[in-house]
Structure 1
Amino acid sequence: MVVTPEQAVAARDALLACDAIGFDTESKPTFTRGETSTGPHLIQFATDKQAFLMQIGASTEPFMRAMLIAVLERPLPLKIGFGLSDDVKRLHAKLDIRAAGIVDMSVALRAPGQKNDLGAKTAVAKFFGLKLQKSKKISTTNWALPRLNEKQILYAADDAQVALRVYRHWIELGNKLPPLKPVKLPKPAKTGIS
């Protein structure tokens, strides 16, 4: 868990030294129709050896936002994850961060002519012959809590780490990424001020 300015600097330096990092976010679930998510509440990154988790609240510390901008707005390292479109849009809406270098493995692993995206569980089964344990009970917990429990922390770290591991294996098999396309973000609302 990254909570101090010193930890944020160490995390930033470790992440920026990589060619690719695992990336994901978690948001408190919404259960009422029409309810808007206030997420992300947790941002996860992973190197090949370590995961970094950052809680994002209503008032994110300036040092945390600076660290996130330094990592997310650069084209490198590549940010590898599954189903990242909503994550990137929510980051932009909440923190005004325009993420670059996003690699959505759900899209990258899609076979030609296939309409459905390949998720992390399917990718782990396909490439490693293992079953990825993703508890629905934990995934739908309150990610906005001031203190996350150990199961939430492990779940979140695994989400970022597994994406990077699948990517590394996929590249080792001789696959190549197509040119990256930026995620389409909503246009800023007109304020009526000229």
Structure 2
Amino acid sequence: MVVTPEQALAARDALRICDAIGFDTESKPTFTKGETSTGPHLIQFSTDNKAYLLQIGDSTEPHLRAMLLAVLESPLPLKIGFGLSDDVKRMHAKLDIRCAGVVDMSVVLRTPGQRNDLGARTAVAKFFGLKLQKSKKISTTNWALPRLNEKQILYAADDAQVALRVYRHWIGLGNKLPPIKPFKLPKPAKTGLS
């Protein structure tokens, strides 16, 4: 868990020297029709051997925001994850961060001509012959709690780590990434002022 300014600097430095890192976010689920998510509430990064988790509240600490800007708005390291479209949009909406160098493995691994994306579970089964345990009970917990429990922490760290491992394996098989296209972000609302 990255909390203090010292931890944020150490995490930033460790992430910035990597060629690629795992990336994901978690948001408190919405259950009421028309309810808008206030996420992300947790942002996860992973190197090949360590995960960094940042809790994001209604007001983000300046040292956490500076760390996020340094990592996410830079084209390198590559930010590797699954199903990142909503994550990127929420980062922009909540924190005004424009993510760069984002690689969505669910799109990269898509079979040409097929509309369905390949998720983390399917990728782990395909490349490693293993079953990825992703508990629905944990994924739908309240990620906005001030203190996350052990199961939430492990689930979140695994989500970032598995994307990076799939990427490393896929690249190791001789595959090459297509050109990285930036995610389309919603246009700012017109204010009516001229």
Fold match, TM over 0.5?
yes
TM superposition shift of 1:192: 3.1
- Taking the aligned partners of 1:183 and 1:2, their CA distance within structure 2 comes to 27
Percent identity over the alignment is 87
Question: How many aligned positions are there?
Answer: 194
Distance in 2, matches of 1:105 and 1:60, equals 28
Give, in whole Å, the separation in 1 of the partners of 2:160 and 2:180.
19
Q: How does 1:8-87 map to 2 (within 5 A)?
A: 8-87=8-87
Cα distance in 2 between the residues matched to 1:83 and 1:163: 10
- Structure 1: runs of 5+ lacking an equivalent: none
Q: Deviations over 1:101-142 (max 9, x none)?
A: 000000000011111000000000000000000000000000
Structure 2: how far apart are the matches of 1:34 and 1:182? 28
1:115 and 2:115 are equivalent in the alignment = yes
Give secondary structure in 1 for the equivalent of 2:24: strand
Give the alignment of 1:89-100 within 5 angstroms: 89-100=89-100
Letter in 2 for 1:135: S
Runs of 4+ in 1 over 3 A off after TM superposition: none
Query: In 2, Cα distance between the equivalents of 1:88 and 1:113?
Result: 25
How far residue 193 of structure 1 moved from its aligned partner, in angstroms, is 3.6
RMSD of aligned residue pairs (Cα, Å): 0.6
Question: 1:158 maps to which residue?
Answer: 158
1:135 aligns with 2:135: yes
Letter paired with 1:117: D
Q: TM-score, length-normalised on structure 1? A: 0.99
Deviation (angstroms), 1:190 = 1.9
Structure 2, unmatched stretches of 5+, are none
Match of 2:7 in 1: 7
